Amino acid sequence: MSEVESEILTLDEVAAYLKAGKRTVYRLAQKGEIPAFKLGGTWRFRRSELDRWIAESINKKKPEGDRVSADQASRRIPLGEEQGEDRR
């Protein structure tokens, strides 16, 4: 496992990574809906598990032929940037 895959993230870092609110990430962790663990009373997240969770979430919503792997999901290009478009 590479350093990036095993990287441990804080709640703030996960919120930024997922482009979601901190409260949303906290609530998902409390409900067990996102892979997380507590360390000293604060939530921590392993990047590789988040990428797998994202891929599984995508796969649940797509027809069988359109499924992607966790590796493919982590490499996706955000919309509007595929051809070097300026996002201003």
Q: Which residue has the higher pLDDT, 63 or 59?
A: 59
Confidence of residue 4 (pLDDT cuts 50, 70, 90): low
What local confidence, expressed as pLDDT, does residue 65 receive? 60
Question: Looking at domain 8-68, which CATH architecture does it have?
Answer: Orthogonal Bundle (1.10)
> Is the predicted pLDDT of residue 63 greater than 60, yes or no?
yes
49-70 average pLDDT score: 78
Phi, psi of 28 (to 5 degrees): -60, -40
The lowest-confidence range among 28-32, 44-48, 54-58, 71-75 is: 71-75
11-33 average pLDDT score: 97
